[in-house]
Amino acid sequence: MVKKNDPVDVVIVGLGAGGGPAAKVLSEAGYSVVGFDKGPWLRGPEHYSGDELKFQNRSYLWPDVDLMPRTVRRDETTEGRIFNFSPVPSAVGGGTTHMAGWTPRPRPSDFIMHSRHGNLEGASLADWPYRYEHLEPYLTKVEWSYGISGLDGAEVGAGFRSKRYPSGPLGPTKFGEKFYEGCRKLGINAMPLPMSHLTERNELGRKAVNRTSFWNQYGDPTETRSTVATTYIPEALATGNFEVRADSFVKEVVVDRNGKATGVVYIAPDGSEREQEARVVILALGAIESSRLMLMSKSARFPDGLANDSGLVGKNATFHEYLFAVGLFDRELSPALNGFTGNYQSGGSMHFYETDYDRGHIGGGIIATTQIGQPINPILPGKPVWGGAAKDADRDYFLHSMKIGMILQDLPQETNRVDLDPTVKDRWGMPVARITNRPHANDTAMSKWQIDKNVEILEAAGAVRTMPVYLGAEFTGNACHQHGTVRMGTDVTKSVLNEWAQAHSVDNLFVVDGSGFATALGVNPTLTIMAHSWRAADYIANTYLKGRSERLVLDPITATK
Amino acid sequence: MASKSEWEKLDLTIDPDTDEKLFFSDHEWDTIEAAAARIIPTDQDPGAREARVIVFIDRYLSGITYHYATADGSGFLQLAGAEAGAARARTSEFQRMYREGVRALDAEAVRHAAETFVSADEAIQDAVLVMISGSPKPNRVRLDEHEVFYSRLQGNSDTGKSFFDTLALHVRQGFYSDPVYGGNKDQIGWKVIGFPGPKSLKDTVDGTYTTAPFFVQEYDWHDLLLTYDPPHSDN
């Protein structure tokens, strides 16, 4: 017998960037909300530290690949192999607990890729069912509640913003200064990247960010990083309407005979199976796990998975890829660049963001100069692994190298997808997500062009040797970004969700993480996910749960191609 | 309680100078210590031997007690639940791999006319490592070369590797990880490369440790950026 809990208004599955804002908005609106996360609820000073071995090598935060594996393959004909593809911390707070925290805004062009570029062969470009102007108020709300720092007036070509940043940025690192020098020489607009932390003179009255530099892939013991676990979760709890159920794995969304969601079945920390009924079910597990849960939730009404009338659940997955070029400097001639410093990144640019057909590809991605890393795992491609050569490489370049990375905006393709692995099971005995992916020609071309440009910047900054790292034959999921698997759109045959992230065929089901993104953006998705979730939660609180519905009518786009 | 959030703290510390072996036999200890000393050799600067990398590896292989230091570095976390099971399974695989690895090092040394790996001279030890690794001894990184690379997953877990690659990674970890794990004695590894690391993990938890002095101290965004047009009014 499955034990049932008392029904609530709203269930949220996944308490990361997608689930956090929804928890806050709905519980503050007075609804009873239960939030599930399959991971533990870790607390800053008790569980986090600058322990490189623990966080970077022994995967304290990332899912244990033997317990929660994924499989990946290049195409339909190859067998999936177990691989920790696109790992995101399994913990309350999700990816926001470990992320470096780039939180740039998307651009207006991100929402109309199909109108701008038409049908590109091999890609499934689509417009979003809403536009930048519809998200802008929510971007501002997130920047001012979550806590984002940035330098107003530095991003050339930015979309309209209704309010400045609540905090200025951190000052440059030594390698950041080199990056700015290289960009200035080449006529490139650069800027300190908007970040999910605050500095001394912030207008939110919060403590300035820690400066230990143990940052990317680490949890923050000082709790000065803006994360869902330090902002929206405590705010939701403060209402008295919200309950966190950590270490609880949701295995199915239950639907009734009419196809309406009635709640979820989950495995509680004691191993028992339970059911939680709710008026509204919100999925926010990340694009891989949200689509997996939908595919696992088969019923008489939805034999191919929840809300999957279109057959599109899991398809059109985009992952970004983190690519970079490393520059080595001559230690006899150059001062130390201190690549271990900075809260990962120090200086970036959106100069190459908008389409320029002369480059041989459409779209573009944000670039940034980032930490080389701490002593165990510094990034030096092809580094010798033993002997005097290995020791020399560390002595010569640990302090004298830098790197300029990019977020590759991969194009959606129906064949890049998530489905259920036919044989591999997780610790709960459920089929794991299998990822099928291969890059589009545009992805490969963008990688080559932008990384070569990053090499030019390094050379202009004084690097003696450069090492480009391009996109290979497959995505590795190393950006830990996921989108597109439960696509939003207006045509019910070509999308699963509408403009409120609400399922076309299950009106009380909402998917508020990056799953809905029709295209991948050329920036890190977290800020957009949070704003998107807030916008959907506003609709749920003020329209849907009031028994009403609304549609957003978009003006036609005037051609700018 | 099984949840990672409630793993208990074990009041244990590791003495880097210890000779007490928790996993290795005397011979295995000596062999791995000798191999580590070829992977990060002692030259004008200390190497794996002085950093007590062998203690680091022995403790890691001894079970799952020394896998995660507590946040403040005062002890270790007692893994529980499913995570403990998965870690135990991986550890037994490493134990098997190291036992076989030591036998392979000795067997290869014998083929090079030495009695054992430990008793061989450094040139023979290097030749053995070349054979075991399946690749020539690495050359120095040079500034006048050009090579291109393709992307990989960030993160550096030690599973799914050959014995040699596992050993090389563990030696590196033992040389550069926080000293609470038994290696990097007196922060020797950090000093070799100029990393001004924290005095203790505790200093990273309370924010005492800071890298702020290693940032640029004086700067003006107008000088750094090509275009910078700060807003004048509050909007």
Question: Closest by alpha carbon to B211, among A352, A136, A339, A21?
Answer: A339
For residue A254, the one-letter residue type is V
Question: Would an 8 Å CB–CB cutoff place B103 in contact with chain A?
Answer: no
Residue B178: inside a domain: yes
Residue A51 tokens, joined: 């322990």
Q: How many domains does chain B contain in total?
A: 1
Q: What is residue A342's predicted lDDT score, i.e. its pLDDT?
A: 93
Question: Would an 8 Å CB–CB cutoff place A199 in contact with chain B?
Answer: no
Residue A85 burial by Cβ neighbours in a 10 Å radius (0-12, 13-18, 19+): buried
Residue A101 tokens, joined: 């925290």
Residue B112: inside a domain: yes
Residue range of the domain that includes B141: 4-196
Q: Report the alpha-carbon distance of residue A397 to residue A464 in Å, rounded.
A: 12
On whether the CB atoms of residues B62 and B192 are closer than 8 A, the answer is: no
User: To the nearest whole angstrom, how far is the Cα of B27 from the nearest Cα of chain A?
Assistant: 22
Cβ separation A470–B177 shorter than 8 A: no
Mean pLDDT, chain A, as a whole number?
A: 96
Question: Would an 8 Å CB–CB cutoff place B52 in contact with chain A?
Answer: no
Residue B185 DSSP class: G
Q: Which residues from B are below 8 Å from A210, CB to CB?
A: 207, 210
Interface of A with B in 328-387 (CB under 8 A): 328, 330, 336, 338, 340-342, 374-377, 380-387
Cβ separation B154–A43 shorter than 8 A: no
Q: Which residue of B has its CA nearest to A455?
A: B148
Sign of the CA dihedral with A182 first, then A185, A191, and A192 last: positive
pLDDT tens, residue by residue, A455-475 = 999 999 999 999 999 999 999
The pLDDT of A97-102, averaged and rounded, is: 94
Question: Would an 8 Å CB–CB cutoff place A49 in contact with chain B?
Answer: yes
Q: Report the alpha-carbon distance of residue A53 to residue A466 in Å, rounded.
A: 28
The pLDDT of A388-397, averaged and rounded, is: 98
pLDDT tens, residue by residue, A294-320 = 999 999 999 999 999 999 999 999 999
Q: How many CB atoms lie within 10 A of CB A265?
A: 17
Q: Report the alpha-carbon distance of residue A441 to residue B50 in Å, rounded.
A: 51
Please, what is the angle between helix B53-61 and helix B81-111, to 10°?
A: 130
Residue B90: inside a domain: yes
Q: Report the alpha-carbon distance of residue A323 to residue A379 in Å, rounded.
A: 12
When CB atoms are compared, the residue of B144, B226, B234 closest to A183 is: B226
The pLDDT of A70-78, averaged and rounded, is: 94
Interface of A with B in 247-306 (CB under 8 A): 247, 269
Question: Would an 8 Å CB–CB cutoff place B153 in contact with chain A?
Answer: yes
Q: Which residue of B has its CA nearest to A398?
A: B193
Non-local (6+) Cβ contacts of B163 within 8 A are B97, B98, B100, B101, B104, B132
Q: What is residue A3's predicted lDDT score, i.e. its pLDDT?
A: 85
User: To the nearest whole angstrom, how far is the Cα of A483 from the nearest Cα of chain B?
Assistant: 18
Cβ separation B204–A51 shorter than 8 A: yes
Q: Say if domain A1-149+220-316+416-431+483-561 classifies as CATH 3.40.50.10330.
A: no
> Most A CBs within 10 Å: which of B206, B214, B232, as the mutation test of the A interface?
B214
For residue B29, the one-letter residue type is W
Q: How many CB atoms lie within 10 A of CB A296?
A: 18
Q: Report the alpha-carbon distance of residue B62 to residue A489 in Å, rounded.
A: 55
Cβ separation B149–A184 shorter than 8 A: no
> Most B CBs within 10 Å: which of A391, A408, A425, as the mutation test of the B interface?
A391
Question: Would an 8 Å CB–CB cutoff place B233 in contact with chain A?
Answer: no
User: A557 pLDDT band (50/70/90 cuts)?
Assistant: confident
Collapse the DSSP code of A243 into the 3-class scheme (helix H, G, I; strand E, B; otherwise coil) and give the result. strand
User: To the nearest whole angstrom, how far is the Cα of A540 from the nearest Cα of chain B?
Assistant: 30
Q: Report the alpha-carbon distance of residue B107 to residue B122 in Å, rounded.
A: 16
- Lowest-confidence pick of A40-44, A282-286, B8-12, B153-157: B153-157
The pLDDT of A169-189, averaged and rounded, is: 98
Residue B160: inside a domain: yes
User: A561 pLDDT band (50/70/90 cuts)?
Assistant: very low
Q: Which residues from B are below 8 Å from A387, CB to CB?
A: 38-39, 41, 126, 137-138
Residue A514 tokens, joined: 């990056």
User: To the nearest whole angstrom, how far is the Cα of A519 from the nearest Cα of chain B?
Assistant: 22
On whether the CB atoms of residues B114 and B44 are closer than 8 A, the answer is: no
Residue B13 tokens, joined: 């510390």
Q: Report the alpha-carbon distance of residue B49 to residue B53 in Å, rounded.
A: 6
Q: Report the alpha-carbon distance of residue B66 to residue B181 in Å, rounded.
A: 7
Cβ separation A190–B194 shorter than 8 A: no
Cβ separation B43–A391 shorter than 8 A: yes
Interface of A with B in 487-516 (CB under 8 A): none
> Most B CBs within 10 Å: which of A47, A51, A369, A377, as the mutation test of the B interface?
A51
Q: Report the alpha-carbon distance of residue A100 to residue A105 in Å, rounded.
A: 16
Residue B189: inside a domain: yes
Q: Report the alpha-carbon distance of residue B187 to residue B177 in Å, rounded.
A: 9
Q: Report the alpha-carbon distance of residue B24 to residue A239 in Å, rounded.
A: 55
The pLDDT of A175-182, averaged and rounded, is: 98
User: To the nearest whole angstrom, how far is the Cα of B207 from the nearest Cα of chain A?
Assistant: 6
Rg (CA), chain A: 23
A463-496: b or e for each residue (b if 16 or more CB lie within 10 Å)? Answer: bbbbbbbbbbebbbbbbbbbbbbbbbbbeeeebb
Residue B104 burial by Cβ neighbours in a 10 Å radius (0-12, 13-18, 19+): middle
Q: Report the alpha-carbon distance of residue A309 to residue A307 in Å, rounded.
A: 6
Question: Closest by alpha carbon to A239, among A399, A24, A535, A71?
Answer: A24
Residues in chain B with pLDDT < 50?
Answer: 235
Q: Report the alpha-carbon distance of residue A253 to residue A293 in Å, rounded.
A: 8
Cβ separation B149–A467 shorter than 8 A: yes
Q: Which residues from B are below 8 Å from A174, CB to CB?
A: 214-216
Q: Which residues from B are below 8 Å from A381, CB to CB?
A: 147, 149
Q: Report the alpha-carbon distance of residue A73 to residue B24 in Å, rounded.
A: 39
B4-25: b or e for each residue (b if 16 or more CB lie within 10 Å)? Answer: bbebeeeeeebebeeeeeebbe
Q: Report the alpha-carbon distance of residue A179 to residue B172 in Å, rounded.
A: 30
Residue A538 tokens, joined: 């506003």
Interface of B with A in 3-42 (CB under 8 A): 3-5, 38-41
Cβ separation B234–A164 shorter than 8 A: yes
Whether A166 has a pLDDT exceeding 70, the answer reads yes
When CB atoms are compared, the residue of B126, B157, B192 closest to A395 is: B192
Q: Which residues from B are below 8 Å from A321, CB to CB?
A: 151
Q: Report the alpha-carbon distance of residue A260 to residue A534 in Å, rounded.
A: 23
Question: Would an 8 Å CB–CB cutoff place B136 in contact with chain A?
Answer: no
Q: What is residue B232's predicted lDDT score, i.e. its pLDDT?
A: 78
- Antiparallel, parallel or unpaired: β A261-267 and A465-470: unpaired
Instruction: Provide φ and ψ at A484, rounded to 5°.
Output: 90, -10
Cβ separation A49–B71 shorter than 8 A: yes
Share of chain A above pLDDT 90, in %: 98
- Antiparallel, parallel or unpaired: β A273-283 and A345-349: unpaired
Residue A462 tokens, joined: 């004084």
Q: How many CB pairs under 8 A join A and B?
A: 299
Q: Which residues from B are below 8 Å from A152, CB to CB?
A: 230-231
Q: Which residue of B has its CA nearest to A150?
A: B230
Q: Which residues from A are below 8 Å from B41, CB to CB?
A: 387-388, 391
Question: Would an 8 Å CB–CB cutoff place B192 in contact with chain A?
Answer: yes
Torsion angle (degrees, nearest 10) of CA A366, A371, A373, A379: 60
Q: What is residue B155's predicted lDDT score, i.e. its pLDDT?
A: 64
Whether A409 has a pLDDT exceeding 60, the answer reads yes
Residue A353 tokens, joined: 């963001």
Q: What is residue B235's predicted lDDT score, i.e. its pLDDT?
A: 46
Q: Report the alpha-carbon distance of residue A42 to residue A75 in Å, rounded.
A: 37
Q: Report the alpha-carbon distance of residue A422 to residue A79 in Å, rounded.
A: 11
Give strand ranges (E) for B79-145: none
In this prediction the pTM is 0.97
Question: Would an 8 Å CB–CB cutoff place B148 in contact with chain A?
Answer: yes
The pLDDT of A21-25, averaged and rounded, is: 98
The CATH code of the domain at A152-193+321-408+438-474 is: 3.30.410
Residue B104: inside a domain: yes
Q: Which residues from A are below 8 Å from B157, CB to CB?
A: 57-59, 65, 84
Cβ separation B224–A171 shorter than 8 A: no
User: To the nearest whole angstrom, how far is the Cα of B113 from the nearest Cα of chain A?
Assistant: 22
Share of chain A above pLDDT 70, in %: 99
Q: Report the alpha-carbon distance of residue B86 to residue B2 in Å, rounded.
A: 13
Residue B191 burial by Cβ neighbours in a 10 Å radius (0-12, 13-18, 19+): middle
Non-local (6+) Cβ contacts of A455 within 8 A are A325, A327, A466, A468
Cβ separation A67–B38 shorter than 8 A: no
Residue B41 tokens, joined: 């050799």
Collapse the DSSP code of B63 into the 3-class scheme (helix H, G, I; strand E, B; otherwise coil) and give the result. coil
> Most B CBs within 10 Å: which of A333, A386, A402, A443, as the mutation test of the B interface?
A386
Residue B33 tokens, joined: 């210590």
Q: Which residues from B are below 8 Å from A203, CB to CB?
A: none
Domain borders along chain A are 1-149+220-316+416-431+483-561, 152-193+321-408+438-474
Residue A55 DSSP class: I
Q: How many CB atoms lie within 10 A of CB A559?
A: 7
The alpha carbon of A489 is separated from its chain's Cα centroid by a whole number of angstroms, namely 20
Q: Which residue of B has its CA nearest to A246?
A: B3
Question: Closest by alpha carbon to B189, among A376, A381, A53?
Answer: A376
Cβ separation A212–B210 shorter than 8 A: yes
Q: Report the alpha-carbon distance of residue A378 to residue B156 in Å, rounded.
A: 11
Element (H, E) at A71: strand A71-73
Q: Report the alpha-carbon distance of residue A521 to residue A411 in Å, rounded.
A: 9
User: To the nearest whole angstrom, how far is the Cα of B68 from the nearest Cα of chain A?
Assistant: 6
